[in-house]
Amino acid sequence: MEMNENSRRSFLKQIGAASALALTAANAEALPSSAIPPQAQQASPAPGQSSQAATRPARMAWWHQAKFGMFIHWGLYSVIGQHEWAKEVEGIPIPQYELLAKQFNPKPNAAREWARLAKRAGQKYMVMTTKHHEGFCHWDTTLTDYCAPKQGPGRDLVREFVDAARAEGLRVGFYYSLMDWHHPDGAICKTDEAARRRFVDYTHGLIRELMTNYGKIDVLWYDVSWPLTAAGWESERMNQMVFELQPDIIVNNRNGLEGDFATPEQRIQAADAGRAWETCMTLNDSWGFNRFDDAWKTPKTIVGNLATCARGGGNYLLNIGPEPDGSIPKESVTVLEAVGRWLETNGKAIYETERSSLEASVNANYTRRGNTFYIHQQFWPGHTPAAEATGFFKPEAVIAIGGLKPKALAARLLKTGQSIPFTQDEFTFRLTELPLEAPDQPATVIEVECDGEPIIDHEAMRALWPRYRVGVS
Ligand code: GLC
């Protein structure tokens, strides 16, 4: 699958802030085994893990159909508006940073706006940062005063989020950063067992509150496990508690365990067949609000990425970074609304699809459901001067696919329902008599029904097609 490189990501990598997976691996030997309680040291899967595997297909069914979710990064860093890593990247001392907690004063029910936008965008679930690396808790916790009800907001922002998502019929997800730049034991827990004990109790306690006080939660999205290993976090016990409290929940893989799904970040990469995966990605280059980051992706890029995820059987979790008052940057609104309009017509080519091995090209992406495949034409062919020399491109605006294996039975434009004439031989499948202008933006989708599972292998015929002689007369 194609890779989507992101400069911010490589920057964070350079400064040692790589993904939770990398951090976990790098710190795998960091905690002395004497500091790890015996029940957390077992190598074979704990009893909880096998029962989680047994219930996985049922727990994940809605998520596989959902395909598209909204990620929300919002916290004290939004007040600064210079990326969610500002504290560490700019070296802001904790007493200075804490002052932001009083100034963080969002408008009431900002989450309603997010949920309405998610709905318009065709997103089926929302995942909000309940606590990011900065350590500030958005909910009413008894375990710290560094939380929204006791600081500037004066109310429970997690409650508002949950109510807003449910009001729009969207599934609810909690992002939770294990790494904590604020808690006194957040770093020393790596080498000091008493600190680790306190910090792990604190962490499990916070997660317990989140899993207890807000009704049914659909996703728990752990992040960065620095500085402990899964054993140090007692992640088996953590997940067991989560599943006891929320039997239908799904959890990701960033607490050092496999969890229910993999989380490639800022790139699209399918996991091995049988393993669920979700690409999370920013709309510009920052997760948290970044006033000066103008590297916005276009609707074309987002629609293309969504199709690429669907092609590989994965989900796409796309981020917004609301301003400190909770408003959504207008550029994000514009892009998401355009994607939503496209999905109104073309949702079938995304939501109802399954993993495929169709080979995409620069001009077109493909998704599949059963024996039907969808051509997502990103760059419409229009008129080519080559039509004057060869009949291949006549009548004008021909979409041709080399190496389509099964026989096509019918083709139609999703935008208009209009059926499209085509020809097919062993080398090429040609859709003809297409309009000169692209009927839909940012991609036009054509549904093609076949007599077997669609396979597109452009290269397969390279050695097979008849070659006549050297040169052209
Ligand atoms: C990285 C970043 C973090 C962001 C997360 C989203 O781990 O450190 O800021 O929340 O990715 O996946």
Read off the pLDDT of residues 239-283 as tens digits, 9 standing for 90 and up. Answer: 999 999 999 999 999 999 999 999 999 999 999 999 999 999 999
Environment class of 152 (CB within 10 Å of its CB; exposed 0-12, middle 13-18, buried 19+): middle
Are 427 and 385 contacting, i.e. CB atoms less than 8 angstroms apart? no
Q: State the amino acid at position 151 in one-letter form.
A: Q
Are 311 and 366 contacting, i.e. CB atoms less than 8 angstroms apart? yes
* Among the ranges given (9-18, 129-138, 375-384), the one the predictor scored with the smallest mean pLDDT: 9-18
423: confidence class by pLDDT, cuts 50, 70, 90: very high
44: confidence class by pLDDT, cuts 50, 70, 90: low
Residue whose token pair is 């998610």: 118
Widest distance between CA atoms in the chain: 85
**Average pLDDT, stretch 146-151?**
98
Nearest to 137 by CA among 185, 190, 202, 62: 202
Binding site membership of 84 for ligand 1 (Cβ less than 6 Å): yes
Are 353 and 316 contacting, i.e. CB atoms less than 8 angstroms apart? no
Binding site membership of 265 for ligand 1 (Cβ less than 6 Å): yes
Cα gap 378→375, rounded to integer Å: 9
> For the segment 151-199, what is each residue's pLDDT rounded down to a tens digit?
999 999 999 999 999 999 999 999 999 999 999 999 999 999 999 999 9
What local confidence, expressed as pLDDT, does residue 234 receive? 98
The number of the ligand 1 atom at minimal distance from the alpha carbon of 12 is 8
Are 245 and 254 contacting, i.e. CB atoms less than 8 angstroms apart? no
Beta bridge partners of 127: 71, 173
Cα gap 407→383, rounded to integer Å: 27
Beta bridge partners of 176: 131, 222
The rounded Å distance from CA 115 to ligand 1 centre is 21
**Average pLDDT, stretch 410-419?**
97
Tokens of 33: 């085994």
> For the segment 215-233, what is each residue's pLDDT rounded down to a tens digit?
999 999 999 999 999 999 9
DSSP 257: S
The rounded Å distance from CA 44 to ligand 1 centre is 29
Are 257 and 235 contacting, i.e. CB atoms less than 8 angstroms apart? yes
What local confidence, expressed as pLDDT, does residue 457 receive? 87
The number of the ligand 1 atom at minimal distance from the alpha carbon of 71 is 6
The rounded Å distance from CA 284 to ligand 1 centre is 14
Taking CA atoms only, the protein residue closest to ligand 1 atom 2 is: 19
Taking CA atoms only, the protein residue closest to ligand 1 atom 7 is: 19
Could you give the residue ranges of the DSSP H alpha helices within 152-298?
157-167, 193-212, 230-233, 235-245
The rounded Å distance from CA 447 to ligand 1 centre is 37
What local confidence, expressed as pLDDT, does residue 45 receive? 58
DSSP 370: T
Distance in Å from the first CA to the final CA of the chain? 41
Q: Of 252, 268, 280, 287, which is best to mutate to test ligand 1, by the most ligand atoms within 8 angstroms of its C-beta?
A: 287
Binding site membership of 249 for ligand 1 (Cβ less than 6 Å): no
What local confidence, expressed as pLDDT, does residue 473 receive? 61
Do strands 219-223 and 250-251 pair parallel, antiparallel, or not at all (unpaired)?
parallel
Are 331 and 296 contacting, i.e. CB atoms less than 8 angstroms apart? yes
What local confidence, expressed as pLDDT, does residue 458 receive? 85
pLDDT exceeds cutoff 80 at 14: no
Three-class secondary structure of residue 94 per DSSP: helix
Residues whose CB falls within 8 Å of the CB of residue 157, separated by 6 or more in sequence, listed in order? 74, 106, 111, 138, 139, 148
The rounded Å distance from CA 405 to ligand 1 centre is 41
The number of the ligand 1 atom at minimal distance from the alpha carbon of 17 is 8
pLDDT exceeds cutoff 60 at 6: no
Cα gap 78→82, rounded to integer Å: 7
Are 288 and 84 contacting, i.e. CB atoms less than 8 angstroms apart? yes
Phi/psi region, residue 433 (left: phi>0; alpha: psi -120 to 50; beta: rest), is left
The rounded Å distance from CA 177 to ligand 1 centre is 9
The per-residue pLDDT of the chain, averaged, comes to 90
What local confidence, expressed as pLDDT, does residue 465 receive? 85
Three-class secondary structure of residue 304 per DSSP: helix
Cα gap 288→291, rounded to integer Å: 10
Within 10 A of 3 (CB to CB), how many other CB atoms are there?
10
138: confidence class by pLDDT, cuts 50, 70, 90: very high
Of residues 19 and 326, more confidently modeled:
326
**Average pLDDT, stretch 316-330?**
98
Binding site membership of 19 for ligand 1 (Cβ less than 6 Å): yes
Tokens of 324: 């400190």
Environment class of 168 (CB within 10 Å of its CB; exposed 0-12, middle 13-18, buried 19+): middle
Tokens of 271: 């996991």
